[in-house]
Amino acid sequence: MMRVHHVGYLVKHLAPAQQAFARLGYTETSPAVYDPDRDADIAFWTLGTCTVELVCPRSERSVVAGLLKKFKNTPYHLCYETDDLEGELKRLENAGFMRIDDPAAAPAVPGEARVVFLYSAQIGLIELLTQRP
Ligand code: NI
């Protein structure tokens, strides 16, 4: 069974986005970390059972810079945690989800997480995450 881990938000400016989530009652659960692969600053904020991942690209080179330009500040993926990344990946690919990258380390996520992104024509972008090696 997969569990919802976070909602990924694209944000153009990190500090004002953090202020907005603070006003909604969220607290910072993981301070901003620079992810060199994605060329983005990434922070986690939580309210109750809901965690948001703020993804703020640093430059046009970032893999998410184009998405931010197109969609502005917006939620853009749901991340699901699983104990069996390879198994879920296979299952979802067989069900029509398109893998758009290879499982890779996610340095901004607390712990030793690995993540992979998939695209569904029906529901857009999702992320799978595991804390298992
Ligand atoms: Ni994410």
Taking only the tens place, the pLDDT of each residue in 54-69 is 999 999 999 899 999 9
The Cα-based distances of 103 to 58, 59, 80, 99, 114 in angstroms read: 23, 23, 14, 10, 6
Averaged confidence pLDDT in the chain: 95
Q: How far is the CA of 53 from the centre of ligand 1 (A)?
A: 6
The confidence band for 111, taking pLDDT boundaries of 50, 70 and 90, is: confident
Q: How far is the CA of 94 from the centre of ligand 1 (A)?
A: 22
**Predicted TM-score of the model (pTM):** 0.94
pLDDT of residue 110 exceeding 90: no
Ordered by where they begin, the domains of the chain are 2-130 (3.10.180.10)
Report the distance separating Cα 50 and Cα 75, nearest Å.
13
Q: How far is the CA of 44 from the centre of ligand 1 (A)?
A: 10
**Residue 73 burial (C-beta neighbours within 10 Å; 0-12, 13-18, 19+):** middle
Report the distance separating Cα 111 and Cα 104, nearest Å.
14
In this structure, the number of other CB atoms found within 10 A of the CB of residue 96 comes to: 10
Q: How far is the CA of 89 from the centre of ligand 1 (A)?
A: 16
Q: How far is the CA of 123 from the centre of ligand 1 (A)?
A: 15
